Amino acid sequence: MSKRITSQDVADLAGVSRTTVSFVLNNDQRFSIRPETAEKVRSAARQLGYYPNASARALASNQTKNIGLIISRGPQYVASDTFLPQIISGLLDALKQNSQGLLLEWVEPGQQLQTYLELTRAHHIDGLILMTPRLDDPGLKALEEADIPVVLMGTIPGSSLHSVDVDNLAAAETAVSHLIGLGHRRIACITNAATPYTSANQRLDGYKLALQKAGIAFDPQLVREADFDTQSGYKQMCSLLESDQDFSAVFVASDNVAVGAYSAIREAGLSIPEDISVVGFDDIPLASFICPTLTSVAVSGQEIAVESYNLLNRLMRGDLPESRSVILPTRLIPRQSSREIGRRAKKGSEKKSAQFVSCVNN
Amino acid sequence: MSKRITSQDVADLAGVSRTTVSFVLNNDQRFSIRPETAEKVRSAARQLGYYPNASARALASNQTKNIGLIISRGPQYVASDTFLPQIISGLLDALKQNSQGLLLEWVEPGQQLQTYLELTRAHHIDGLILMTPRLDDPGLKALEEADIPVVLMGTIPGSSLHSVDVDNLAAAETAVSHLIGLGHRRIACITNAATPYTSANQRLDGYKLALQKAGIAFDPQLVREADFDTQSGYKQMCSLLESDQDFSAVFVASDNVAVGAYSAIREAGLSIPEDISVVGFDDIPLASFICPTLTSVAVSGQEIAVESYNLLNRLMRGDLPESRSVILPTRLIPRQSSREIGRRAKKGSEKKSAQFVSCVNN
DNA sequence: TAATAAAACTAACGCGCGTTAATAGTTAGC
DNA sequence: GCTAACTATTAACGCGCGTTAGTTTTATTA
């Protein structure tokens, strides 16, 4: 292992002091350095392959140049989260432009407080983004009092933390209204997750609101609660099908979960959308490729990520935005999985056309 | 912002020196501390809510307690990577047990060297895992000479770096042999990515090897190159279908890509597996839920992650493993998408049974 | 009791860098 | 030619902690 190269080495080679090296390499405008001196320094640094030590820099400047992303979910749910890559991709892209790093962490229910304190107080990071927070998260107050900025990806009513989220309620209402507009009246609902996750709550509320506006009574028997992954969607759809409830459409508050529902519906010998219309949520890349293509609410994970980062960045710079929360728009993308009630295809011909129509037009 | 709490504060409150505090909190066995003193220190730390500053600790101990994961791909490909969450999940799980952190980064072709140097020389991290490295990565030699341990997730022939990978060649051979065993002779191939990615190369080689062993001539006209995502799978499958080549099966070296191929096949008015059998690779969670369920090669991203981490950890502890590379096993999971050639279902009955059979048995 | 060993604790330095306050050098004004 | 006003540079301190070498206290032995 070769000797570590420090700024002193650069200073020596350039024939200046360490301070000058620091000024030059950090482009510190408050001090004027003669151009030829600056060039000498830069050349020396290049020649030696000098890279300032991150820890030392962080210690001296009190800035780690890292931000943290906490996923509040167990690893088994992280593994099948098709939405996560979009978030990460958006964040990494934004971070790279500011040459900051991303420190990733997950936290299981029950250990939030410890994790948050450790992460914020030990100053591993300059700012924190908390993904899919739970209503019952006991560590949230700690974050409100943390000495670094925090942005929630999601909504916690009553929290003083800044947040970025899509308008889950409106989006869900639109989705369900779409089904109602197609003539459906008995519409089941499978949530994306358990109710401590606010997105699940809000989407369920949107479902109820749409029913109410259309004068349809809410029937709790038509509601099931999934758990992020496809398997849970399969199970809950089976549960709906096995109940003697009658319904012609289902609103599934997550595409991931909806794929499981597809599977259960087919297994029961039913067809989408002839027997049951399905509307999903998230518009994952696969939504336009599965068969039948899935009507869904488009949510851009990358956009959420970028907005969260921008908000966090403003907070880190100390400029407080006027509003505590950013709400991003969504739009419904109708595809093959939803159609008018009762329009059963004639066996053979129409079914074929439905199945073979282009699967990639969104 | 409240005054930051340092180990000196803890020492003062406990009535001991800072050194003692450090010994106690780090459980340093080389020095004996009277139990009551230790308790006094711990109690003081608890009372003050003391968390050692990460940067200071890193600077003094020369250990950041972070490892880096570099994804060598552009952000647009990261976003749709359904495999990434498994990797991350596996890593985070393993890391948490050692209370280490994960620093995530992506790197675009052309900027590898800079990124690697910055990350390793600036000592942001104690060790590095490089995901899906490219054969033509100009920064690899720099990693070989880096002053921190490096593990490749993937294979680079001739590199002196340690690596973890699945046996892509054998797996692909098994998959294609499975098709050959079903009577297929004209078998197309869509790679998972461009050839600078070794996994794509190796899987293609496995395809060729299986053909060769069965005495089937390799026909380059039957090969297409996809690009990680579903869209590219759709395009390449279209290209195959539009060519006047004749084939009864296709080996798609990535489930993600295979979903796109599904879509193209349906759009062409053909059926899986009646007209074309499909075998995928990766066994993503959705493979057993799409219709028809996808025959695939099971690869556990979490296992790859954990093995990579274990290997890296050994390197960080300085104990060199006997072998440079860890090769993980795979297994073929036959599902509905592959069947004997020519067994066209009778319209109606058998088709129905194929479509409606349970979609969740793997 | 004195001599010695072991246990318990601490003073002080260094990790590498940012930054302030002070110093040397240079130009402009009269 | 001398002060004033910059400009260019540096010495030196501090960030908070790990750790070595050394000091004090307690236990053990002769």
Domain architecture of chain A: domains with CATH: 7-61 (1.10.260.40), 66-165+301-323 (3.40.50.2300), 168-300+332-360 (3.40.50.2300)
Is the pLDDT at A362 greater than 50? The verdict is: no
Is the pLDDT at A112 greater than 80? The verdict is: yes
Classify each residue of A280-295 as buried b or exposed e, where b means 16 or more C-beta atoms within 10 Å of its C-beta. Answer: bbbbbbbbbbbbbbbb
d(CA A160, CA A144): 7
Query: Which residue gives the smallest C-alpha to C1' distance to C15?
Result: B60
The residue with greater pLDDT, B228 or A347, is B228
Among the ranges given (A77-81, A280-284, B313-317), the one the predictor scored with the smallest mean pLDDT: A77-81
d(CA A48, CA A52): 12
Residue of A nearest to B52 (CA): A122
Assign B2 a pLDDT band (cuts: 50, 70, 90).
low
Assign A302 a pLDDT band (cuts: 50, 70, 90).
very high
Q: From the CA of A10, how many Å to the C1' of C26?
A: 26
* Radius of gyration, alpha carbons of chain A: 26
d(CA A46, CA A41): 9
Per-residue pLDDT of A174-197, as tens digits, reads 999 999 999 999 999 999 999 999
Distance of CA B11 to the CA centre of its chain: 45
The C-alpha of B185 sits at a distance from chain A's nearest C-alpha, in angstroms, of: 26
d(CA B190, CA A102): 34
d(CA A67, CA A74): 21
Question: Which residue among A89, A103, A269 sits closest to B102, beta carbon to beta carbon?
Answer: A103
The C-alpha of A252 sits at a distance from chain B's nearest C-alpha, in angstroms, of: 16
Beta pairing, strands A331-333 & A296-298 = antiparallel
d(CA B191, CA B227): 8
pLDDT of A344 reads 54
pLDDT of A184 reads 98
Per-residue pLDDT of B161-173, as tens digits, reads 999 999 999 999 9
A74-88, B141-155, B334-348, range with greatest mean pLDDT: B141-155
pLDDT of A343 reads 62
d(CA A120, CA B361): 45
Is the pLDDT at B92 greater than 60? The verdict is: yes
Per-residue pLDDT of B214-264, as tens digits, reads 999 999 999 999 999 999 999 999 999 999 899 999 999 999 999 999 999
**Sole residue written with tokens 């060790």:** B127
Contact A54 B122 (CB under 8 A): yes
d(CA A95, CA B105): 9
DSSP E strands, B26-140: 66-71, 101-106, 127-131
Concatenate the DSSP letters of all residues of A7-18 into one string.
HHHHHHHHTS-H
Q: How many CB atoms neighbour CB B316 within 10 A?
A: 17
The residue with greater pLDDT, B76 or A333, is A333
Per-residue pLDDT of A21-52, as tens digits, reads 999 999 887 887 888 899 999 999 999 999 99
Q: From the CA of A146, how many Å to the C1' of C16?
A: 28
Q: What is the mean pLDDT of residues B1-27?
A: 90
Assign B31 a pLDDT band (cuts: 50, 70, 90).
confident
Contact A92 B86 (CB under 8 A): no
Q: Is the CB of A66 under 7 A from strand C?
A: no
Q: Is the CB of A61 under 7 A from strand C?
A: yes
Question: Which residue among B86, B117, B229 sits closest to A51, beta carbon to beta carbon?
Answer: B117
Residue of B nearest to A52 (CA): B122
What 3-state class would DSSP assign to A152?
A: strand
pLDDT of B344 reads 54
Cα B112 to Cα B23, B131, B157: the distances in Å are 41, 12, 18
Which chain B residues are within 8 Å of A66, Cβ to Cβ? Answer: 103
The residue with greater pLDDT, A35 or A352, is A35
Residue A28's contacts (CB-CB under 8 Å, 6 or more residues apart) are: A22
Per-residue pLDDT of A221-238, as tens digits, reads 999 999 999 999 999 999
Q: How does the average pLDDT of chain A come out, rounded?
A: 91
Task: Answer yes or no: pTM beyond 0.85.
Answer: yes
